[in-house]
Every structure is written in structure tokens, then in C-alpha cells.
Amino acid sequence: MSKNTVKPGLTRRRRNRRARGRTWLRVVRLVFRFLTGRPLDGRRYSNGTFWRAGTRRVGNPPYLFTWGWWTLAAGWQRTLVRLLVVFVTVLAARTVVGVVA
């Protein structure tokens, strides 16, 4: 007889209920990582910080291809690129909607 006598369905429901309550925390973490230039998956890929660019990679590359500049860039540079992409996308969407409307 196993030690766990709780039905698997009950355990799964409790686990899902707990995860649903923390969704807002995940969103806050994702926005924070986006705005500070950190990797969105929470892993460290180089020894760089927000103000200093990295000099070497840390750990094994998780993907087949890793963009070298992005991995070694300082956090403020990644933040700048991300916010510029958001700005240009919003500007392009406003122009398209403005022309259509």
C-alpha cells in the first residue's frame, strides 16, 4: 500500500486552484523581467548585469541557436531594444488604424 492515500483527482484540483491564484504574480514577474531587460524565462545566460555587458556565457545554451549579441548585452540595452520594438509596433498600429478609420 502506498503512503499517498489521497485520490489523484482531488490532489490535481487543489494544485490547479493554487496555481490559478498566483497568475497575477506571474504576470507581474513577466512585466518586471521585460522592463528590466532580463531573460523572460528567468534563467541567466551570461554574467552581465543591468549596467555592464556580459563577458562570457553561463551554462549550456538552451536552444540550438542563441543570438550572441542579445545574450551578452547589458540589461539597459535589452530594455531599450524591447521598448523601441513596442513603441514602433504601437506607432505602426496607430497609423494603420488611422488610415483605415
Tens-digit pLDDT profile for residues 2-13: 566 666 655 666
Indicate if the pLDDT at residue 30 is higher than 70: yes
The pTM (predicted TM-score) of the whole model is 0.69
- Once rounded to an integer, what is the mean pLDDT over residues 33-57? 90
Give the per-residue pLDDT at 29.
Answer: 92
Indicate if the pLDDT at residue 61 is higher than 80: no
Contact 37, 76 (CB under 8 A): yes
Contact 71, 57 (CB under 8 A): yes
Written as nine digits, the cell of 19 is 496555481
- Once rounded to an integer, what is the mean pLDDT over residues 48-59? 89
Q: How confident is the model at residue 52 (pLDDT cuts 50, 70, 90)?
A: very high
